[in-house]
Structure 1
Amino acid sequence: MPDHTHYRSPLETRNASAEMLTIWSPQRKFSTWRRLWLALAEGEKQLGLRITDEQIAQLREHLDDIDFQKADEYERRFRHDVMAHIHTYGDAAPAAREIIHLGATSQFVNCNTELMLLRDSLQLVSAKLAAVVIQLGNFALLYRDLPTLAFTHFQPAQPTTVGKRAAMWAQELILCRERLEHTRSTLKMRSIKGATGTQASFLDLFHGDAEKVYALEKFICDRFGFDSTYPATGQTYPRVVDAMVLSDLACTAAALHKLCSDLRLLAHRKEIEEPFEKDQVGSSAMPYKRNPMRCERATGLCRFVMNLAGNAYDTAATQWLERTLDDSANRRLSLPESFLALDGALDICGNVTLGLVVYEKTITRNLLAELPFMASENLMMKAVQLGRDRQQVHEAIRRHARDAAQRVKNDGADNDLLDRLRSEPLLEGVDIDAETDPKQFIGLAPQQVERFHKQYIQPLIQKYPDYAARVPKLRV
């Protein structure tokens, strides 16, 4: 039975996926520590240090069977988590106790493990982001020809299409994904740098043989899939790396926030809605309500991610000289929670974008309510081509537009501007219906979407075939 007397983070209970929770779990963290200690011992043995096969075998036998209770007891005694786990591992592998962590500092396990967790988390986020982009891209292609009212300053503007707007959302997410991929591809390992980054302890172990130190460093890198190390570090890898990672996550969160905010605005206009399940309740007080709760949750999570980035900036800025420990408590929160929250937001957005509901007739009705005003210039130009005086036509249309707008605003009536213009003598002979066809006002929007889909979406579908129709499972 779950214990309901202790706080549990909503990131765990409501939002983050099992995959992301596993990456940042204690089991993954401390079993990675043990794999690092095993690799260190194997490399040192290979390079001539007195380490036996029995010691290596015992270390290998106990990579995952961690006694967390014993580790907690040791930490309360030592006030040092790395020493606690060294002793816990030594109890499980007594023959190897004396060579565990040989030559290393705490950041050998901490930094190298965190870099691997960042790498794995970025990979998961990038794949989920690709899924959202694919879904938006396919949606954009489906609705590339459907005209809709565009907005600038949140005021009616020249029409676009439903598909073009979705392509805009996808474009921002593609830019964010490119940044994430770049950051992931440039991560390096700290490997074996020692207490202040000079590798002095390892140079001493190998009796001044620098080539063996470099060989051990490369051995560790190769074992864990890194091409290289940060060549000049203090006690930790450069904390500006964390700032770059969290900045990229924050940028992604900002783009997702815009997507969900736009969908909330469109839901208000009754044009597009997120999925709404048969038994879902919108409000405990108002039974008729159909709130965009998924998009609201996603925007809340995104704001959290955006604000966590500042922690990484502060940490990078305040690492005195070779290192200060005030980074530790903050990073234990800001690194995992940034990924857990963004992971939850991505799953929500994936669920939403795969099930968007489009109300085409409402979209057209809303557009036609504003289109007559936007068509006025086109109508004026057609009348001039028929030999009418431009200034006279301009004044006539201005007067009709003013009167129609007053009728809409003061009387709550429909926009009758087109009917007024049809009876205007100066516009006789102008095909008003043809000149007010919504598709006359969308420019190259459909073609832009087609080119966008071919250039960006189709390659992603080929790269992530299993994600193209992925339906994220939401707990709430």
Structure 2
Amino acid sequence: MQTRDIFANISPLDHRYSRRKKSFEEIGKYLSENATIKFQAEVELALVKVLASRGMAPEKAPAEVEKAIDKLTTEEVYDEEAKTKHNIRALVNCIQKKVSKETRPYIHFTATSYDIVDTANSLRYQKAASELIIPKLKKLHKSWAEIALREKDRVQIGRTHGQHAVPVTFGFTIAEYVARLGERIEEIEAKAAKLIGKFAGAVGAYNASGIFFEDPEEFEKEVLAELGLKPGEHSTQIVQAEPMTDFIHSLVSTFSVLAAFADDMRQLQRSEIAEIGEHFGKDQVGSSTMPHKRNPINYENVKSLWKAFMPQMTTIYMDQLSEHQRDLTNSASSRFIPELITALLSAAARLTRVSSKMAVDQENIKKNFEQNKKMIVAEPLYILLAASGHPDAHEAVRKLTLRAQETDLSLRELVDQSQELQGYWESFAERQKELILKPEKYTGIAAQKTEKIVKNWQHKFEYELKTEVL
């Protein structure tokens, strides 16, 4: 068996992001070239099983083929391909060499290459989704839910357009991503379930299988049922492109949610904001020249990976086009899908690690809130004035904010000095006045909304949270 120094690899996914051996082995089970051959062989086995059940292939054939593919290596298939110049013919030849003469004719019987390739890809991506991708994303989702619940009451200044807006809570900020990621996980589940296979022959018209079976579509269903798949309504030499397109889109849009979270958290670590921090190892270096720096490397890495792989979605869309019954313009490009999935998993794992150690700087989050504490009550003040009958409340409060910026007076103090606004303050209810006097209470239902969102997804995903019980 050929061995290779990982640092001789070209893809950074193999030599830089594969250093966590256990994680890389898990991914390789579905996305490596070894996995490609394994799943293609499983499709060939499913075919033989159905042929045997229909009385065409020998009764012993499935057991022979199963034993053969257990001994099959990727290296021998590649060696055979060097001779045949055809990957699936090489696979078939290698299996045939390991079975009896009686079984040999039924390997790949009535099949075309992409009956095997497309079906195997749908199968492995479907399994990767249920057994690898979704569990990893749910682990990240849980870590965010725990942060949201823990921080549901911690007041934070809201920000729109990079400017201080009105108060929220930090838990509410995180709850956005709890909701968005939860919905994406459900979308991945739905789209993975719709991945399809085919066993319809060279142009999708069942030309070969139709020679032997009066019900070639039923034969196709039986073969795919062995694998837990269903056929599409219409195939050519390849499966309909849209189910795979939709599945990959669900992954890319999920990646975008991770990148958005990473970008937000990175911004909150800016020196002038510094509301959160990530754990720094005692020997970790933030800068090669500035020893004091603690760079948000994990969040930046996630965004960087997203930038590298998100554009692959354009290629996936282009792969929807195939001339007539099929051309080969997706054969190379589709081989890079495992890299996109691997990058998504790497980003999810990184965010899970850093989220589990996220620290909130209580002093800075309070300091930033209090920076414009006197001004952020402009919204409730304007609304209360309007509700009390002021004819142009927005303009009146806008002018007060300009005066507040010029002086050291609060909006409340300026209301007392304004002849135009005399009498309005007394018309406010005590609870309404409190929102002006204590801006930290003007958080709407941020805490309740956060708890509601977390509880919703906790129920859907059935996990226990480390923080307080809902």
TM-score, structure 2 length as denominator?
A: 0.85
Partner in structure 2 of residue 439 of structure 1: 440
- 1:157 offset after TM fit, Å? 0.5
Is this contact kept in 1: 2:381–2:397, CA < 8 A?
A: no
Structure 1 stretch displaced more, 305-314 or 240-249: 240-249
- 1:42 offset after TM fit, Å? 2.3
- What does 1:301-316 correspond to in 2, within 5 Å? 301-316=305-320
Partner in structure 2 of residue 411 of structure 1: none
**For the structure 1 residues 378 and 30, does the alpha-carbon distance in structure 2 shift closer, same or farther, using more than 3 Å as the test?**
closer
Is 1:450 paired with 2:458?
no
One-letter amino acid matched to 1:74: E
Tell me the secondary structure at the aligned position of residue 71 of structure 2. coil
**For the structure 1 residues 369 and 324, does the alpha-carbon distance in structure 2 shift closer, same or farther, using more than 3 Å as the test?**
same
Is 1:98 paired with 2:118?
no
Is 1:255 paired with 2:246?
no
Is this contact kept in 1: 2:169–2:446, CA < 8 A?
A: yes
**For the structure 1 residues 393 and 25, does the alpha-carbon distance in structure 2 shift closer, same or farther, using more than 3 Å as the test?**
closer
Partner in structure 2 of residue 178 of structure 1: 186
Mapped partners of 2:397, 2:89: distance in 1: 83
- 1:214 offset after TM fit, Å? 3.9
Partner in structure 2 of residue 197 of structure 1: 204
Is 1:30 paired with 2:37?
yes
Mapped partners of 2:385, 2:201: distance in 1: 82
Mapped partners of 2:384, 2:240: distance in 1: 65
Tell me the secondary structure at the aligned position of residue 316 of structure 1. coil
Is this contact kept in 2: 1:140–1:164, CA < 8 A?
A: yes
- 1:360 offset after TM fit, Å? 1.2
- 1:394 offset after TM fit, Å? 5.8
Gaps of 5+ in 2: none
Please point out which of 32, 35, 46 is paired with 1:39.
46
One-letter amino acid matched to 1:454: K
**For the structure 1 residues 425 and 180, does the alpha-carbon distance in structure 2 shift closer, same or farther, using more than 3 Å as the test?**
same
Is this contact kept in 2: 1:41–1:56, CA < 8 A?
A: yes
Please point out which of 72, 80, 83 is paired with 1:74.
80
Please point out which of 118, 125, 128 is paired with 1:121.
128
Is this contact kept in 1: 2:158–2:166, CA < 8 A?
A: yes
Partner in structure 1 of residue 302 of structure 2: 298
Partner in structure 2 of residue 412 of structure 1: none
Mapped partners of 2:44, 2:380: distance in 1: 75
Please point out which of 231, 236, 251 is paired with 1:229.
231
Mapped partners of 2:383, 2:37: distance in 1: 74
Mapped partners of 1:394, 1:325: distance in 2: 66
- 1:379 offset after TM fit, Å? 6.5
Tell me the secondary structure at the aligned position of residue 288 of structure 1. coil
Mapped partners of 2:314, 2:94: distance in 1: 36
Tell me the secondary structure at the aligned position of residue 319 of structure 2. helix
- 1:417 offset after TM fit, Å? 3.8
Tell me the secondary structure at the aligned position of residue 283 of structure 1. coil
Partner in structure 1 of residue 162 of structure 2: 154
Mapped partners of 1:39, 1:393: distance in 2: 76
Mapped partners of 1:47, 1:76: distance in 2: 35
One-letter amino acid matched to 2:99: A
Gaps of 5+ in 1: 405-415, 470-476
- 1:50 offset after TM fit, Å? 4.6
Mapped partners of 1:385, 1:25: distance in 2: 64
Report how many aligned residue pairs link the two structures.
444
Is 1:61 paired with 2:70?
no
Partner in structure 1 of residue 119 of structure 2: 112
**For the structure 1 residues 417 and 325, does the alpha-carbon distance in structure 2 shift closer, same or farther, using more than 3 Å as the test?**
same
Q: CA RMSD in A?
A: 3.2
Is this contact kept in 2: 1:194–1:235, CA < 8 A?
A: yes
- 1:210 offset after TM fit, Å? 1.5
Percent identity between matched residues is 23
Mapped partners of 1:399, 1:203: distance in 2: 82
More contact order relative to length (CA 8 Å, sep ≥ 6): 1
Higher normalized helix content (fraction of residues): 1
Mapped partners of 1:278, 1:240: distance in 2: 49
- 1:135 offset after TM fit, Å? 1.7
- 1:346 offset after TM fit, Å? 0.9
Tell me the secondary structure at the aligned position of residue 158 of structure 2. strand
**For the structure 1 residues 88 and 270, does the alpha-carbon distance in structure 2 shift closer, same or farther, using more than 3 Å as the test?**
same
Is this contact kept in 2: 1:263–1:295, CA < 8 A?
A: yes
Is this contact kept in 2: 1:70–1:88, CA < 8 A?
A: yes
Mapped partners of 1:52, 1:382: distance in 2: 83
CA shift digits 1:96-120 (9 cap, x unpaired): 3333111111112211110011202
TM-score, structure 1 length as denominator?
A: 0.84
**For the structure 1 residues 278 and 424, does the alpha-carbon distance in structure 2 shift closer, same or farther, using more than 3 Å as the test?**
farther
- 1:314 offset after TM fit, Å? 0.7
Is this contact kept in 2: 1:33–1:109, CA < 8 A?
A: yes
Partner in structure 2 of residue 137 of structure 1: 145
CA shift digits 1:167-201 (9 cap, x unpaired): 112222122222212111222222x2111111111
Please point out which of 160, 175, 178 is paired with 1:167.
175
